[in-house]
Structure 1
């Protein structure tokens, strides 16, 4: 028997959580209460009308009677259920009130840095890297899971009828440790919980096959897996009117969003400049309506010594303070390091949505060609909010009250019911997913490939241009690539020379000057479209910073065709 010890990296933490214990009311229970608040009914009648098993109906009414909201009455035809006076009042509420038991508990957890799986404190055997023997095969962490997702941690730690509603802020970072398991004959894994995902088991088994079991080796980065295998929801509700196209439409969208909100707005703009003050009246109005507003920015100060966004954020913060609204409008003074552009808001009617794409919401004159998409699907919107929570932790990954608050909001949105609209294949794109999608587009395109990018640089050649050349040569497709301007690594003159060089390959590389091009799009054929913050032709999508870019891939009938036509009408492309 061949026995090999394998160690995989984890993040170890322990926090004091606030937990509400007590079963929540289900939608079925709420609907049944509403039904008998209008007219008494028997369990048999409700079973036939709702197509719900009688056992479920009876169990629901037992709980509702315990709450004092339903009572049994004797009728000539038999026993029926009817709502009590207080039950009729509760039936009209959006959500039935609960009275859970609040507990405070210290809980330990471990986040697997290969797949992001969260294990409870005692489920793994942990050791410090200095205590690993020379014969142990070590797996390296994937950058995609360099920090733990608080929402996933909450879910893993919650017991039956429990919901984590808070966690005590802590300056302590998660500890880096290794989980040690034993692999027998390259198959049986001892020391790993049975619920561990198949991907983690595969990484461990593959590592155990290393020559002699002595060679430390990295795991394949999940960030480079095909997009369809990435974590997260894979389909969501979408309609064509969710597209936000052109600068003026973005300005109107943001202003309308702020004015309509009644609970919470989060804005993440890569840059903040003087154009942010255009929305100050709207922000002040929202604050007067009781809305909490958080403003984040992502400009990397290490790359721009002037730190212009920080200076403008300070000005905006002072302007808010002068209006005595610093309690409601929070201008955060740290950089998230992300190039993504995000708006999250409630719709004033109990629903939530996000918008992601190319627009610097607080740093744009709204004169460029921009494209963003409104994300109304709860699963996608909630996950975007959870990504914002991770961004809010900063580079140190510190758990603080703000990140906890945003995480809880994201989980709340994810649990909201979907509308009955049609669903289409969709996928959130993190930074590493973009390079994979570009290859996928070059392989799957049957007729055409279409790309727009604000800038063009040397990084765009291996990521998009070379795959486009190969697709045009091998598959005979047309490939139209558009850019707004060059970069320090590829000047306008060099871009012009590259344009001439590509003519013979079937790839058309073209500059767009009017209107100014700022949209970041990748599309193929008629139905496949990615809207993102990633400059396809200039920026290298980083594996080390997965949240540096954020986009959405959508596969919906003629969505790409309609956007390409819209672009051509505005630019004569």
Structure 2
């Protein structure tokens, strides 16, 4: 009506949440056996609540990896016997009925251990996120959160996985906030949401008490939470800023592999002598020949390595000596969407020699 066009501006880019925390290299979980052992230890120590979010759920009749996965089921059974509340979720909306049926089978198995109502909070609707969580109290006033690539309720535990274990109070409380946001869309998850809210509040009160008593350890790392759409921006920054090396591991390469991963790696490769991309599978329209063409094109700039066995299910980025991102995002086949920020979760850690340690463990697991 005024004849004056409205002023337009690009939307502001929200800054990821960043905190200073205590973190050591032994909190990097690399390899399937290490994940299995930590699941048993974390779940075995819990006295009140265990939360598991797995993208998929394996049927009780699934024979692939059944022997190792039985250790997961038995750890959860033991927790139920102790009276620990088990909050179980799955992420994918694909084959929804299949995974809902598998979750029902798991519910039936665990409920046979303890008939008391209210100890099994099992959701049969997907949360619509590719993130993977294991979160539990530690039985001693604290809690542990594990995030990364491992599908706890479906994995055959034969692939190379990479996850981060958080134990410092503020970091764990931040993980609880993330999981609470992811599951809040489910109407049946209200008790789980309330429990996570209460646990996170307790962790922060505990931190405040420790702070007042000057008992908090000096931060050793900076942790930045990456939501889905934060990943691509950080990968491109890393490709330009890396001074010594740039290494990325993705389970899959797919239709967007060139702009999403190969182009940034090439940028880094024109400056650095150590630029590597690892993958195990191809998805969508990508064929072996497509990848071979890019391997030849990038020869001398990027070492593009396919690893069929053991399958690399890990998703991480490492550059220089001190920078790592451990994520649920397949860097070479998926794009994080701004409209679905909780679809993928990554943890960016800056700390002394973290990249060096991660790569040493990864190379040992990949031999």
Question: Which of residues 228, 231, 234 is equivalent to 2:19?
Answer: 234
Question: Which of residues 299, 320, 323 is equivalent to 1:503?
Answer: 299
Structure 2 counterpart of 1:293? 86
Question: Which of residues 175, 194, 209 is equivalent to 1:404?
Answer: 194
Question: Which of residues 329, 343, 347 is equivalent to 2:138?
Answer: 347
How do 1:541-552 residues align onto structure 2 when only pairs under 5 Å count?
A: 541-552=336-347
Once the two structures are TM-superposed, the CA of residue 522 in structure 1 deviates from its matched residue by 0.2
How do 1:86-485 residues align onto structure 2 when only pairs under 5 Å count?
A: 212=4, 214-215=5-6, 217=8, 219-223=10-14, 229-230=15-16, 232-274=17-59, 277-301=70-94, 304=95, 307-323=97-113, 324=115, 327-394=118-185, 400-417=190-207, 419-473=216-270, 475-485=271-281
- Provide the aligned C-alpha RMSD in A: 2.3
> 2 CA distance for matches of 1:478 and 1:279?
38
Once the two structures are TM-superposed, the CA of residue 247 in structure 1 deviates from its matched residue by 0.3
Structure 2 counterpart of 1:512? 307
Structure 2 counterpart of 1:536? 331
Once the two structures are TM-superposed, the CA of residue 533 in structure 1 deviates from its matched residue by 0.7
Given that 1:464 and 1:536 are in contact with CA atoms closer than 8 Å, whether structure 2 keeps it comes out as yes
- Give the TM-score normalised by structure 2: 0.88
* Shift in CA distance, 421/338, structure 1 to aligned 2, threshold 3 Å: same
> 2 CA distance for matches of 1:460 and 1:220?
27
Instruction: Give 5+ residue unaligned stretches, structure 2.
Output: 60-65, 211-215
- Give the TM-score normalised by structure 1: 0.58
Structure whose residues are more often strand by fraction: 1
Q: Does 1:555 align with 2:346?
A: no
Given that 1:268 and 1:295 are in contact with CA atoms closer than 8 Å, whether structure 2 keeps it comes out as yes
Secondary structure at the residue paired with 2:194? helix
Secondary structure at the residue paired with 1:310? helix
Given that 2:121 and 2:192 are in contact with CA atoms closer than 8 Å, whether structure 1 keeps it comes out as no
* Shift in CA distance, 476/387, structure 1 to aligned 2, threshold 3 Å: closer
What is the total number of aligned residue pairs between the two structures?
Answer: 351
Q: Does 1:571 align with 2:366?
A: yes
Once the two structures are TM-superposed, the CA of residue 217 in structure 1 deviates from its matched residue by 4.3
Instruction: Give 5+ residue unaligned stretches, structure 1.
Output: 1-133, 136-210, 224-228
* Shift in CA distance, 325/398, structure 1 to aligned 2, threshold 3 Å: closer
* Shift in CA distance, 254/470, structure 1 to aligned 2, threshold 3 Å: same
Looking at CA atoms only, which structure, 1 or 2, has the larger radius of gyration?
1
Given that 2:183 and 2:189 are in contact with CA atoms closer than 8 Å, whether structure 1 keeps it comes out as no
Secondary structure at the residue paired with 2:251? strand
Given that 2:148 and 2:164 are in contact with CA atoms closer than 8 Å, whether structure 1 keeps it comes out as yes
* Shift in CA distance, 439/415, structure 1 to aligned 2, threshold 3 Å: farther
Given that 1:527 and 1:559 are in contact with CA atoms closer than 8 Å, whether structure 2 keeps it comes out as yes
* Shift in CA distance, 217/502, structure 1 to aligned 2, threshold 3 Å: same
